[in-house]
Amino acid sequence: MSESDFDVPRSRPLSQADREAFLAQPHVAVLSVAGEGGRPPLTLPSWYAYRPGGTIAVIMRKGKRKSRLIAAAGVVSVSVQRSERPYRYVTVEGTVVRQERPTAEELAGVGGRYLPAESVDGWLEWELSGANPSGEPEYVEIRPDRWHTRDFS
């Protein structure tokens, strides 16, 4: 059997403009960072924000395993995909350039992409007041160093 016997989707890399526009959409990212003590990499879904030409921002919980691993490694991979046809993905390998408590504007820049508009103010107040039982928010900025992309349209 050969490729000509069935319909094989062709793929191509995304252009720089297309990959940045795709990453700027509010997908859920999958973030991976090296594990410790022989454990495999930690890979978790994450809300994120990105503006073409800029850094990728994610919110996590200060002092939790993901936060500690990111601080130790200083590098992460972030992947987003479109699971409907035509399939498309963008994966970025990047360097952490900032990891600290977020401002209200930074929190809103990430959470506002995923929450209904009428919920953002209440969520910000809850996060910044320390009422979230999961812990204090932490803002991480990632500089894209390498891009891996495919478009199956």
If you average pLDDT over residues 33-57, what whole number do you get?
Answer: 97
Q: With beta carbons less than 8 A apart as the criterion, state whether 75 and 150 touch.
A: no
For residue range 114-146, list pLDDT tens digits in order.
999 999 999 999 999 989 999 999 999 999 999
pTM of the predicted model, to two decimals? 0.91
Domains annotated on the chain, with CATH = 11-101+139-151 (2.30.110.10)
pLDDT at 6: 58
Residue 36 has a CB neighbour count (10 Å cut-off) of 12
For residue range 6-39, list pLDDT tens digits in order.
565 688 999 999 999 999 999 999 999 999 999 9
DSSP code of 62? T
pLDDT at 10: 82
Six token digits for residue 107:
């929190």
Distance (Å, rounded) from C-alpha 79 to C-alpha 46?
A: 10
pLDDT at 83: 85
Any idea of the CA torsion for 75, 114, 120, 118, to the nearest 10 degrees?
170
Chain centre to alpha carbon of residue 103 = 19
Phi-psi region of 17 (alpha: psi -120 to 50; beta: other; left: phi over 0): alpha
pLDDT at 5: 57
Residue type, 70: I
Q: In what order do the strands lie in the sheet with 75-82?
A: 42-46, 29-33, 75-82, 88-100, 137-151, 56-61, 48-50
pLDDT at 4: 56
Residue 41 has pLDDT above 70, yes or no: yes
Six token digits for residue 123:
């969520």
Residue 102 has pLDDT above 70, yes or no: yes
